[in-house]
Amino acid sequence: MTRKEFRELATPEAAREAITSLPLEAGVEYVSLSAARGRVLADRLDADIDVPGFDRASLDGYALSARDTFGADEANPARLEVVGVVHAGEEPTVDLEEGEAVEISTGAVMPPGADAMVPVERTDETDGEVAIRTSVAPGDNVMFAGADVAAGERALGPGTQITPRDIGLLSALGVEEVPVRARPTVGIVSTGDELVRPGNEVESERGEIYDVNSYTIAAGVEDAGGEAILYPHAGDDQDEMERILREAAEACDLVLSSGSTSASAVDVIYRVIEEQGELLLHGVAIKPGKPMLIGRLEASAYVGLPGYPVSAMMVFRTFVAPAIREAAGLPEPKQATVDGRLAREARFDEGRRRLLPVGLLESADDAPGGDPLVYPVDKGSGATTSLAHADGVVEVPAETDYLEAGEAVSARLFSADVRPPTLLGVGEDDPTLNRLLDRLERPRYLSVGSRPALRRLRDGVPDIAVVAGPIARETDGIELGSWEREWGLLVGDAADDVSGLADLVDGDYRFINRTTDSGLRTSLGVAVANLADDRGLDRDDIVESIDGFGVGLRAHESPARNVLAGEADVALGLAETASQLDLEFVSLGTQPVRVLTNPDRTQKAAVCELETILEDLE
């Protein structure tokens, strides 16, 4: 199969126009009142009845003719004969004559001959007679028929997004079903032989990964007012892909696929669209999101999203979600924009408009009114945490290739109710730390390792940095607290005779290390250097003798889980991890874990709270 080159990249504006040209509106449907909240009325609704449909009492008291109370007051009450009682839900059985009154309940029908009512608090009843200690005018304390809504009156107009109070009005009118804009149905197809749906086992050795896009895009569709339908993921075979896409196109107003949109030889989805429909656009000058497809497939609209989760969701949020909202008749959500200053420099290339995921960090409490920090969280298009850790997007023009630290930027939040974290931390992955963070409100923690944490602390981005093991250079950070953790070798069944680091050098064992950014790796490096000195060898000789020393995994449990899976015999890890996963443990010592804070954040509320929590560890 020959490689397909991208056509000339379209501008983002052209991509929006292409999507707008697609027919997405799904028509009108009738839904029950119980299912109407949040839907958008397709037609005007007029009242068929008066609300209320009768004159009713507004309070508990006595219905009467207002003229019978003329001149009545506390000193000279009017005395009327009580000739009956009317409760709510009852039809009156008496007609009032002059000098008569009827005891009446709130909401009850006013009897014939009564044009006002007096609250019970302004009366005294004795032996079938009531003393009225105030005068009233006709209509006092009465809601007349149609006073709320009159028959024929316009109740709700087309385009109204139905709220709970609207449902109350419709209920009062006796409406059972309402005509609403039908939600556009969106078929979601993730492509790629490597995808596995959550709930099934992945075979990592085959390069399989869980299908992230189907569920995140489906949630986005529902949030935008559409109805998401998930289809089985399609492999990279053109016939199979065509079959699933056709099935989705027959049932849905819009088909969204993810993956198989680039210029790779195995990415064939654009061929399916070209052969079975109409391809309007292939490739947009934006990053992430360059390999986007827009077209038609049979009678349905079609948009092809990139395969990487960050790229797929950024393109969906920017281009597709607004089109779904418009088709559903929903207004654009309130869009909050926050002005801040960039926490660190950012460089760009390729001459494309950039959608940069960013996080927000509020100013320290001792700097009121300061602009929030805006920091990039982009780990690459393949990292789902780029969006999970982001609060919004900074749009960078195509001609911009560099933004300085401290430069003013405007971040468009993912939603108006985004709440920035109370504390931003970076550093070592540690189980004790995880428990400490659980005691704070809305912290955000990025496990980047000890060395990158110190670097970011020097750059002034995070509130705290958590570092473990020996630190090669001094830091300006102020220590809030610390604890000790035991580290060593996590040993599987095949290496039950391993009793120390020397056994890894002398024996035939498969070892899995941590990454060089980890504090555990630093401590292991010191232990290796000491062993080399004891044996009179060069450190590199010891390293080369350990099979797998250069293979490092990032999270503290990842090496241990490789041992459990039989992919390694021994791993670097913590005593706590060994206990949790039921692995044998060979201690190589203890190391300190230190929590450092920026000098200008010491008075920030969340930092002070963490310091108090750390004191409890001592």
Q: How do the domains of the chain map onto residue ranges?
A: 12-25+184-328, 28-51+148-181, 56-143, 337-420, 422-618
Highest CATH level, class, for 56-143: mainly beta
Which of 236-245, 254-263, 373-382 has the least mean pLDDT?
A: 373-382
Burial class (CB in 10 A: 0-12, 13-18, 19+), 112: exposed
For domain 337-420, the question of CATH label 2.40.340.10 is answered with yes
Q: pLDDT at position 267, please?
A: 60
- CA 432 – CA 188 distance, rounded (Å): 40
Q: pLDDT at position 262, please?
A: 58
Give the best-scoring range by mean pLDDT among 210-214, 270-274, 607-611: 607-611
Per-residue pLDDT averaged across 256-260, rounded?
82
Q: pLDDT at position 273, please?
A: 83
Q: What is the mean pLDDT of the chain?
A: 86
Asked if residue 324 lies in contact with residue 227, where contact means CB atoms within 8 angstroms, the answer is: no
Q: What residues does 409 pair with on adjacent strands?
A: 340
Q: What percent of the chain has pLDDT over 70?
A: 93
Q: How confident is the model at residue 575 (pLDDT cuts 50, 70, 90)?
A: very high
Highest CATH level, class, for 28-51+148-181: alpha beta
Asked if residue 556 has pLDDT above 70, the reply is yes
Asked if residue 268 has pLDDT above 80, the reply is no
Q: pLDDT at position 366, please?
A: 42
Asked if residue 5 has pLDDT above 60, the reply is no
Give the best-scoring range by mean pLDDT among 139-148, 341-350, 483-492, 554-563: 483-492
CA 216 to chain centre: 10
- CA 107 – CA 143 distance, rounded (Å): 9
Q: Which CATH architecture has domain 422-618?
A: 3-Layer(aba) Sandwich (3.40)
Which of 597, 602, 603, 572 minimizes the C-alpha distance to 587?
A: 572
* pTM: predicted TM-score of the whole model, two decimal places: 0.72
Q: What burial letters (b/e) apply to 138-149, b meaning 16+ CB within 10 Å?
A: eebbbbebbebb
Q: pLDDT at position 459, please?
A: 83
Q: Give the pLDDT confidence of 93-123 residue by residue, as tens digits.
A: 999 999 999 999 999 999 999 999 999 999 9
Burial class (CB in 10 A: 0-12, 13-18, 19+), 435: exposed
Per the structure block, which two tokens stand in for 194? 């490597």
Highest CATH level, class, for 12-25+184-328: alpha beta
Q: pLDDT at position 551, please?
A: 84
